[in-house]
Amino acid sequence: MGNDLYNRIAVLRAERNLSRQDLADALGINYQTVGFLERGDYNPSLTLALDLSAYFGLPVEAIFSRKPLRPLSEAVYGDGNAEAAVKMAKRSVR
């Protein structure tokens, strides 16, 4: 198994309208490190992963995954099927 680790930090940060500096200040890390984390160029320590989890109020597995993560909207509404979610959305608009 490779060393790949995927995360949703960029999405979660954008949802909360936080800058990299805001998140970095909250976690006590350099804002550049936030960029490295978001791009997947750096895998955080367990401590930092748990700090992120606590900060966002989400379980660690909602933020990090060994497999590529589905878009958050699809994960929440799509029931595993993005096309079905789109159809449902279109029906609701009609």
Partner 1 sequence: MTSTSYSVFGVSMQQRRTRRKLVVMVYAVLLVLCAVSIAGATRYPLLYVYVSYAAMAVGMFVFGGMGQKGLLKGFENKPPRTQQMPLLEVERLRLLPKAEVEQDLSWKNDERELSRRNLAHYKAYQVVGLSGPILLVLTAWALFPKQHLLSVTTMLVMIFGLAEVLTVLVMTLPAAIILWTEPDIDLG
| 21 phi and psi angles, rounded to 5 deg | -65, -40
Report, in Å, the least distance between residue 39 CB and partner 1.
10
Direct distance between the N- and C-terminal alpha carbons of the chain, in angstroms, rounded to an integer: 46
Q: Which is nearer to partner 1, 36 or 77 (CB)?
A: 36
Q: Which is nearer to partner 1, 42 or 77 (CB)?
A: 42
How long a stretch of residues is the chain? Answer: 94
Name residues contacting partner 1, limited to 34-93 (CB under 8 A): 35-36, 42, 44-45, 47-48
Report, in Å, the least distance between residue 83 CB and partner 1.
37
Reading the block at residue 32, the tokens are: 């550049």
